[in-house]
Chain A
């Protein structure tokens, strides 16, 4: 049973997309995935989504002073929904929680039904803001710690995250398994008129430098904007297209205006899956300038479309990309280094072609969902085996009593 606050069609970050692909691939592993998630705009109740059982509870009206207390109230409602579903599906073997937002629900259900809990920590609060300061961050940090403590096994998507979780949450290494996120290559293919699509964003002779992600500090988008003047000096036909939204949007627009490059930057805001797919197929280079990146799914998606990538040598990105083989790594927090990397790709078509070819092969081999869900299944199997040998069990089936 997966507990997640976002699941398609409702998406905020990358968890929803990852879970949709993961649960679908779990079906072929003989696993019967059940998802408990928020329902918005009246879309509540049960949905059989391509074989995945999805239960949505009403999260439309939860009054709250801030996002944190909203999340805690949402989590209590999630726990009630999960209990209802547990009583209905009597064959749930593992509870799989995704991030701190569902921590209270996951811990509550784990104890009441005495079923092992596995957690995927997709990102850490200490990484999002470069440390823990202030009472809101303390709350999230201690919830992450509690979730990790209560979990039988923790799954994360990179060695970088494993080290961060171990250090930040004081969790032993052997409790953490690294399983990367995957990408559905077939889903990334698109058949459309490239010229007409490109015309929506740039002139025919322009090269598109693309960024997708939240416009927030940790993503380092300000570093990319800072690099634009240097890039334009060498590559005057570059056009910068940014997809995504976030609290830094206005600040970034002002930064571009102050640097005199506002006419070369296009802020698209949130884009749907189809538009994103097309953008990945028409762009010339994808940039991931993150300060903090647990994994970097956007780089993997770009690579699966044969798009050369320039990434900051940080976090999970540093593990995914092999420099000068399937992408270019640049110094984190450095606009100059970023400009150098982007110009290399825009100025050398042979290099760009070689990088994209190698990148595609790597994704096809290492980041396909089939192998990823097999690895996750082996985590589940090990946990179930240990659980069977353990005396921590329900005395009666909770749902049978009463």
Chain B
């Protein structure tokens, strides 16, 4: 578990030769934090999630879609804000590899299950996402916040949230109501239920335009203040996302959400 920064004692004026091992470590940690431009006494920094897990089926360079562009820009932007970003994405050709791209660690997975629909694909891919997320969680220093992109990743995002008890943010790029208008069958109902569950069980909903925000509120009724519009074409949009992350993280740590 990451140690809260506020625990670090101020040894600034003590003679180094008289320090014990613990005090030396504290001093070293303080220097590292200073290099990362984090003030140890900064309460805002304490409320900023450091380790972000993004799960998205689409990611650059494999996919060239609004979702993949958004995810790539977001991941890069978060790294610029000194966050550790792990992305789990689907690429059968690179499955099993972790590629570091500009500070972002991208973990590629494949789905070993033979599926016959996007729904069965998404629900079975969750096993590999869990396995990879578990490696990140247990080996690489934890996960502070989960950001799931589009409905295919919501079931897995929710199961990760339930296991590691960390806040979940869901990102919508479109809705099943628009992808298959006037279609009523078991498949579309399933996807709609997943989209609904994502909007209800997550701590924050993100969309890229006001119209989509209104549609989500119309169809799935999340609390309106829970839905944020973040357009990646706007200036300093990642700053806005970091602000949302902080807000969610702070509320989560203060018990502001039902956990």
A and B co-occur in one complex: yes
Residues of A within 8 A of B (CB): 62-66, 68-69, 72-73, 75-76, 79-80, 83-84, 86-87, 103-104, 107-109, 111-114, 135-136, 138-139, 141-143, 145-146, 150, 393-396, 398-402
The interface centre, meaning the residue of A64, A109, A145 with most chain B CB atoms within 10 A of its CB, is A64
Interface of A is mostly: helix
Given contacts A63-B190, A65-B187, A114-B138, contact A87 B124 (CB under 8 A): no
22 contacts between A and B (CB under 8 A): A63-B193, A69-B119, A72-B123, A75-B123, A79-B162, A80-B158, A80-B162, A83-B159, A103-B127, A107-B127, A107-B131, A108-B159, A109-B163, A111-B131, A111-B134, A112-B159, A112-B164, A138-B114, A139-B114, A146-B113, A395-B139, A398-B164
- The answer to whether B159 and A69 touch across the interface, beta carbons within 8 angstroms, is no
Known: A87-B165, A108-B127. 18 other contacts (CB 8 A): A65-B187, A65-B190, A69-B123, A69-B186, A104-B127, A108-B126, A111-B134, A112-B160, A138-B114, A139-B113, A139-B116, A139-B124, A142-B113, A142-B114, A146-B112, A398-B165, A401-B165, A402-B259
In the assembly, what is the distance between CA of A114 and CA of B160, in Å? 13
Which residue from chain B places its CB closest to the CB of A106 in the assembled complex? Answer: B127
A-side contacts of B185, CB under 8 Å: 65
Interface contact A396-B160, CB-CB below 8 Å? no
User: With A66-B186, A80-B159, A112-B133 given, is the CB distance from A135 to B116 under 8 Å?
Assistant: yes
CA distance A402 to B166 in the complex (A): 6
**Chain B, 177-215, contact with A by CB distance < 8 Å: what is the 0/1 string?**
000000001110110111000000000000000000000
Closest to A137 in B: B114
In the bound complex, CA of A105 to CA of B142 (Å) = 22
Q: Give complex CA distance A11, B156 in Å.
A: 28
Chain B residues contacting A107 (CB-CB under 8 Å) are 127, 130-131
Chain A residues near B119 (CB-CB < 8 A): 65, 69, 72
Given contacts A83-B162, A139-B115, A142-B114, contact A64 B138 (CB under 8 A): no
B1: Cβ under 8 A from any A Cβ: yes
Quick one: CB contact mask for B99-127 with A, threshold 8 Å, 1 for yes? Answer: 00000000000001111110110011011
Is B134 within 8 A of A114, CB to CB? yes
* Chain A residues within 8 Å of B163, by CB: 83, 86, 108-109, 112-113, 398
Q: Helix, strand, loop or mixed for chain B's interface?
A: helix
What residues of B have a CB within 8 angstroms of the CB of A87 in the complex? 165
CA of A79 to CA of B158, assembled, Å: 10
A68-B185 Cα distance, complex, nearest whole Å: 15
Is the pair A79, B159 in contact by a Cβ cutoff of 8 Å? yes
Asked if A143 and B124 make an inter-chain contact with CB atoms under 8 angstroms apart, the answer reads yes
Chain B residues with CB under 8 A of A399: 165
B193 touches A135 (CB 8 A): no
Whole-angstrom distance between the Cβ of A164 and the nearest chain B Cβ: 19
Q: Which residues of A contact B133 (CB under 8 A)?
A: 111-112
Please state if B126 and A104 are interface contacts (CB–CB under 8 Å): yes
Is A72 a contact partner of B114 (Cβ separation < 8 A)?
A: no
Q: Which residues of B contact A84 (CB under 8 A)?
A: 162
**In the complex, chain B residues whose CB is within 8 Å of the CB of A104:** 123-124, 126-127
Q: Mark B30-54, 1 if CB is under 8 A from A, else 0.
A: 0000000000000000000000000
Could you say which residues of chain A place their CB within 8 Å of the CB of B134? 111-112, 114
Q: In the complex, A33→B137 CA distance in Å?
A: 28
